A and B are shown apart, each in its own frame.
Chain A
Amino acid sequence: MNTNHNTKTIVYDDDSVRKFMIASITWGIVAMTAGVLIAFQLNYWQMNGKILEIITFGWLKNEGIEFLTFGRLRPLHTNAAIFAFVGNMMFAGIYYSTQRLCRVRMASDLLSKINFWGWQFIILCAAISLPAGFTRGKEYAELIWPINIMVAVIWLIFGANFFWTLGKRNEKSIYVGLWFYIATIVTVTMLYVVNHLSIPTSFTHSYPIFGGVQDALVQWWYGHNAVAFFLTTPMLGIMYYFVPKAANRPVYSYRLSIIHFWSLVFIYIWAGPHHLLNTALPEWLQSLGMVFSLMLWAPSWAGMLNGLLTLRGAWDRLLTDPVLKFFAAAVTFYGMATFEGPLLSIKAVNALSHYTDWTVGHVHSATLGWNGFLAAGMFYWLAPRLWNTKLYSNALANAHFWLGMVGILLYVASMWVAGITQGLMLSATTEGGTLLQYPNFLDTLQAIRPVMLFRAIGGGLYLAGFGLLAFNIWKTARSGNAVNGTVEVAIDEDSHETAGDKRFYAFLNPPVLYALLILFFVLVTIFGDGAVFLFGIIMTIFFCIAAIAHFEVSKAAWSEWYTKLLDHGFAFSVLTILAAAIGGAIQIIPTVTVQRADNIEGRIQIPYTPLELAGRDLYVSEGCYNCHSQMIRTLVPEVMRYGDYSHLGESIYNFPHQWGSKRTGPDLAREGGLRSDDWHYWHMLNPRDVSPGSTMPNYPWLFEKETKVSQLPKKIRIMRMLGVPYPIDLSEEEIQAQVDEQAKEIVARLAEKGAFVEPEKEIVALIAYLQKLGSYRETGEPIEASEPTKAVEPTEAVEPSNEVATAE
């Protein structure tokens, strides 16, 4: 960096941008390949290793490879797509644009390097640990606790580097793209830390500190906002920088982007409970989730329109410029996905769509269409600039566009058809509405298998298109030389944040005070009853009108305040944290502080015996929750199919909860006692022996590997810390004795039916767990912790009128 009187030559660190871009493309291919593989597994169970035997004509004997099951690879696919593909792409975009918008090189090259290599190491650890079955059992939060800590550290290093750069900026005002990056960094930190709070039981295993409904709420507060603040806000920041650059015209409306930003950041965080509609989640939370999801329509479309209208006057270039083509399609998919999201959050629509492929189609239209196409547009725009050359082939980029587009459309359309078909079939009843029309879950699965195949083909086309991108970028890089952007910057002594006297004005001013007052009275309305409720409504309306009137009278002053705020990175960040934190705090604090014993709807779960607990950890480790839910919703067809709806208290001791988000197989909330031990034995050995047509993989290794009983004393001790009523004096010998006794009983029952296995094998623990599912006591009955249950007597609640996937 040379200093020349009052100007300085800034050399940007584009090396980091290149590295993140290459990493994103590489991991993108891994993520998508895993996606295509597991999509085919849903149609052809043989793709889980048995295929090796088929293609080698029996030379490689294989009934199934444990590292390749859907339950283990699906987390790898989602984590790789979110954190590896989009994560690296996000870093590339942020590193490139932040330096230019701040007119300064990244504050620390060392921190940039740690950010890059640390992130790749994390991804590598994830790519090994997830197929190996090490998981926390929470969606998009599966990584085990040592990796969680690494993620938090690297993320904070990235944050420190970013804010340090922001502090050193040679440009007074903070551009809109940077607002979205600020929101990303502060909110992801908050979400990640809270949802990953765990107590380790070993180096590779931990229990989350939240259980049951609390865990479900925290998980989907995180899960939904991972979409919001990892897959959306950084992408919007990138959109606000790269779309104007590519179109060579400023953003359509900067004022609209102000509304877009603040309303999006404030509203998004409230919408998490829409993942738990019609479940045991308290009604007030469901209503909040639904209403705020519907409100999200407005800011999302403000952003979408702002992005699309930035292309005004440049539409003709869509014919020739692949970058603009990708950007226009990406922003359009953003609009479509943010239309569909609120639609799916309407309780009546969600009753049909939830747990089906419709949701899967929705997230893929956002990830492939919005994130994937935005990434492609950005890479095609960046590569020639990073290597000072021309794009190797526009024709290949166009071919990529059309392959990807056809791929997404095939994917999304087939998922709509599959989801709606299965949703309708699952809730269809015979004439008179007294019986289910399709009592066998597998009938509904068979009906959608052809369309599911189209999904796999669509995904394959998208992957092929992305392969073209990798080749195109590689050839582009080979044809040029790596360059770093340089710029002459006039040094303005006043450009830094010297106006400390105005700092408080950033917090104490009419817009902020009105927003806080309105929010306060909205909360009075939400939590108040009778007169308080009425008072809340009246005051909310009053302050809304007062704010509008005040704004109309003093427009210029309000605008001046915002301009000043944009000079103060610190104040801006604090207000962003406030806007993003309020929604989560209001939903989560009452839920986690409420006395669990008062919030169980009359039923309380019977704690697991040591062997059942070991079986449950196996269930979580195998990722069974990726296909099986444990939540019977408060809907008549569900109660007819699976039994009485799931009450809050019935999952109170589940760390983590296993309510699930997708049913490729039936719900298992009341599976205990529904079938015999030997049915489960044969089912896990080869599901098709007892459930013809099932697409579930074989689990032969459960019959070979032994249950890790030695870990149980520590696990039970931690369960007790978390509030599960195990006896305080339970010794290691007693635990071992209980395990032995229950295992021997199961083995004896199996032997009577001609199914032979040793009591130490994992399958025995898993059967013990499956037979426990759905057992509870009515409130008032004494709780005898960790008594080994005999063969669970089906209660009246677990006598549904269904014949779910039984052996005919």
Chain B
Amino acid sequence: MNVLILTVFLSLLLASLFLLFFVRERRTQELGSPEQDALRPFDIETPQDTPRR
């Protein structure tokens, strides 16, 4: 029984910590890193026929 309480307690603790850090991370403006820009060339585009002259 004690083990169950300990498990629930630790799980809640970890979940709370996770939530806390998540909220903190979301609130900071720093969501990006310079490396993120490296993905810029990978846009998906569709070819469209040029108008006939």
What is the interface of chain A, defined by CB distance below 8 A to chain B?
A: 11-12, 14-15, 97, 100-101, 103, 171, 173, 175-177, 241, 244-245, 250-251, 253-255, 258, 385, 388, 481-487, 556, 559-560, 562-563, 566
Q: Smallest Cβ distance from B27 to chain A, in angstroms?
A: 15
Give the most central of B32, B34, B35: most A CB within 10 Å.
Answer: B34
B38 to A483, Cβ gap below 8 A? Answer: no
Enumerate chain B residues within 8 angstroms of A562, measured Cβ to Cβ.
34
Enumerate chain A residues within 8 angstroms of B40, measured Cβ to Cβ.
101, 171, 173, 175
What are 13 A-B residue pairs whose CB atoms fall within 8 Å in the complex? Answer: A100-B45, A171-B40, A175-B40, A250-B35, A251-B38, A254-B37, A482-B50, A483-B47, A483-B48, A487-B44, A559-B33, A560-B30, A566-B37
Enumerate chain B residues within 8 angstroms of A385, measured Cβ to Cβ.
47
Binary interface encoding of chain B residues 5-38 relative to chain A, with 1 for a CB under 8 A from any of its CBs, else 0: 0000000000000000000000000101111011
A241 to B38, Cβ gap below 8 A? Answer: no
Q: Smallest Cβ distance from A262 to chain B, in angstroms?
A: 13
CA distance A388 to B49 in the complex (A): 9
Per the CB 8 Å criterion, the residue count for chain B at the interface is: 19
Enumerate chain B residues within 8 angstroms of A253, measured Cβ to Cβ.
35
CA distance A625 to B5 in the complex (A): 91
Q: Smallest Cβ distance from A658 to chain B, in angstroms?
A: 46
Enumerate chain A residues within 8 angstroms of B44, measured Cβ to Cβ.
487
CA distance A162 to B13 in the complex (A): 54
CA distance A171 to B44 in the complex (A): 15
Q: Which of B39, B41, B43, B49 contacts A483 (CB 8 A)?
A: B49
Enumerate chain B residues within 8 angstroms of A15, measured Cβ to Cβ.
50
Using CB atoms, name the residue of chain B closest to A485.
B45
Q: Tell me how many residue pairs across A and B have CB atoms closer than 8 Å.
A: 75
- Extra A-B contacts (7), CB below 8 Å, given A559-B33, A560-B30: A97-B41, A244-B42, A250-B38, A483-B49, A484-B47, A484-B48, A563-B34
B46 to A254, Cβ gap below 8 A? Answer: no
CA distance A253 to B47 in the complex (A): 30
Q: Smallest Cβ distance from B39 to chain A, in angstroms?
A: 6
A-B pairs with the 3 shortest C-beta distances?
A483-B47, A250-B38, A485-B45
Enumerate chain A residues within 8 angstroms of B30, measured Cβ to Cβ.
556, 560
Q: Smallest Cβ distance from A567 to chain B, in angstroms?
A: 11
B42 to A250, Cβ gap below 8 A? Answer: yes
A487 to B46, Cβ gap below 8 A? Answer: yes
Enumerate chain B residues within 8 angstroms of A245, measured Cβ to Cβ.
41-42
Enumerate chain B residues within 8 angstroms of A100, measured Cβ to Cβ.
41, 43, 45
A11 to B47, Cβ gap below 8 A? Answer: no
What is the interface of chain B, defined by CB distance below 8 A to chain A?
A: 30, 32-35, 37-50
Using CB atoms, name the residue of chain A closest to B37.
A173
CA distance A173 to B30 in the complex (A): 14
B45 to A255, Cβ gap below 8 A? Answer: no
B33 to A486, Cβ gap below 8 A? Answer: no
Enumerate chain A residues within 8 angstroms of B39, measured Cβ to Cβ.
250
Q: Smallest Cβ distance from A360 to chain B, in angstroms?
A: 36
Enumerate chain B residues within 8 angstroms of A241, measured Cβ to Cβ.
41
A175 to B37, Cβ gap below 8 A? Answer: yes
CA distance A449 to B37 in the complex (A): 52
Q: Smallest Cβ distance from B43 to chain A, in angstroms?
A: 6
Enumerate chain B residues within 8 angstroms of A101, measured Cβ to Cβ.
40-41
Q: Which of B35, B42, B43, B49 contacts A255 (CB 8 A)?
A: B35
Q: Which of A97, A176, A388 contacts B47 (CB 8 A)?
A: A388
CA distance A566 to B33 in the complex (A): 12
Q: Which of A97, A171, A177, A485 contacts B46 (CB 8 A)?
A: A485
A255 to B50, Cβ gap below 8 A? Answer: no
CA distance A287 to B32 in the complex (A): 43
A481 to B49, Cβ gap below 8 A? Answer: yes
Using CB atoms, name the residue of chain B closest to A257.
B38
Enumerate chain B residues within 8 angstroms of A559, measured Cβ to Cβ.
33-34
Enumerate chain B residues within 8 angstroms of A14, measured Cβ to Cβ.
50
Q: Smallest Cβ distance from B38 to chain A, in angstroms?
A: 4
A244 to B32, Cβ gap below 8 A? Answer: no
Enumerate chain B residues within 8 angstroms of A250, measured Cβ to Cβ.
35, 38-39, 41-42
Enumerate chain A residues within 8 angstroms of B33, measured Cβ to Cβ.
559
Using CB atoms, name the residue of chain B closest to A177.
B41
CA distance A694 to B45 in the complex (A): 60
Using CB atoms, name the residue of chain A closest to B28.
A556
CA distance A483 to B50 in the complex (A): 5
Q: Which of A254, A481, A482, A486 contacts B38 (CB 8 A)?
A: A254
A487 to B45, Cβ gap below 8 A? Answer: yes
B47 to A175, Cβ gap below 8 A? Answer: no
B41 to A258, Cβ gap below 8 A? Answer: no
Q: Smallest Cβ distance from A651 to chain B, in angstroms?
A: 49
B34 to A254, Cβ gap below 8 A? Answer: yes
CA distance A173 to B44 in the complex (A): 18
CA distance A573 to B16 in the complex (A): 46
Using CB atoms, name the residue of chain B closest to A250.
B38
Using CB atoms, name the residue of chain B closest to A14.
B50
CA distance A556 to B49 in the complex (A): 46
Q: Smallest Cβ distance from B45 to chain A, in angstroms?
A: 4
Using CB atoms, name the residue of chain B closest to A240.
B41
CA distance A177 to B47 in the complex (A): 23
CA distance A621 to B30 in the complex (A): 61
Enumerate chain B residues within 8 angstroms of A556, measured Cβ to Cβ.
30
CA distance A177 to B46 in the complex (A): 22
Enumerate chain A residues within 8 angstroms of B46, measured Cβ to Cβ.
485-487
Q: Smallest Cβ distance from A164 to chain B, in angstroms?
A: 20
CA distance A385 to B34 in the complex (A): 29
CA distance A411 to B14 in the complex (A): 66
Using CB atoms, name the residue of chain B closest to A103.
B43
B48 to A11, Cβ gap below 8 A? Answer: yes
CA distance A339 to B27 in the complex (A): 47
Enumerate chain B residues within 8 angstroms of A97, measured Cβ to Cβ.
41
Enumerate chain A residues within 8 angstroms of B50, measured Cβ to Cβ.
14-15, 481-484
Known: A388-B47, A483-B49, A483-B50. A175 touches B35 (CB 8 A): no
Using CB atoms, name the residue of chain B closest to A243.
B41
Q: Smallest Cβ distance from B34 to chain A, in angstroms?
A: 5
CA distance A177 to B42 in the complex (A): 13
Using CB atoms, name the residue of chain A closest to B46.
A486
Enumerate chain B residues within 8 angstroms of A171, measured Cβ to Cβ.
40
CA distance A255 to B47 in the complex (A): 33
CA distance A380 to B42 in the complex (A): 19
Using CB atoms, name the residue of chain A closest to B35.
A254
Q: Smallest Cβ distance from A404 to chain B, in angstroms?
A: 26
CA distance A775 to B39 in the complex (A): 63
CA distance A31 to B32 in the complex (A): 46
Enumerate chain A residues within 8 angstroms of B43, measured Cβ to Cβ.
100, 103, 487
Q: Smallest Cβ distance from B13 to chain A, in angstroms?
A: 28
Enumerate chain B residues within 8 angstroms of A176, measured Cβ to Cβ.
37-38
A486 to B45, Cβ gap below 8 A? Answer: yes
Q: Smallest Cβ distance from A110 to chain B, in angstroms?
A: 17
A175 to B45, Cβ gap below 8 A? Answer: no
Q: Smallest Cβ distance from A792 to chain B, in angstroms?
A: 64
Q: Smallest Cβ distance from B6 to chain A, in angstroms?
A: 37
Q: Smallest Cβ distance from A228 to chain B, in angstroms?
A: 24
A175 to B32, Cβ gap below 8 A? Answer: no
Q: Smallest Cβ distance from B50 to chain A, in angstroms?
A: 5
Using CB atoms, name the residue of chain A closest to B50.
A482
Using CB atoms, name the residue of chain B closest to A258.
B34
Enumerate chain A residues within 8 angstroms of B49, measured Cβ to Cβ.
388, 481-483
Using CB atoms, name the residue of chain A closest to B48.
A486
CA distance A487 to B42 in the complex (A): 12
CA distance A253 to B37 in the complex (A): 11
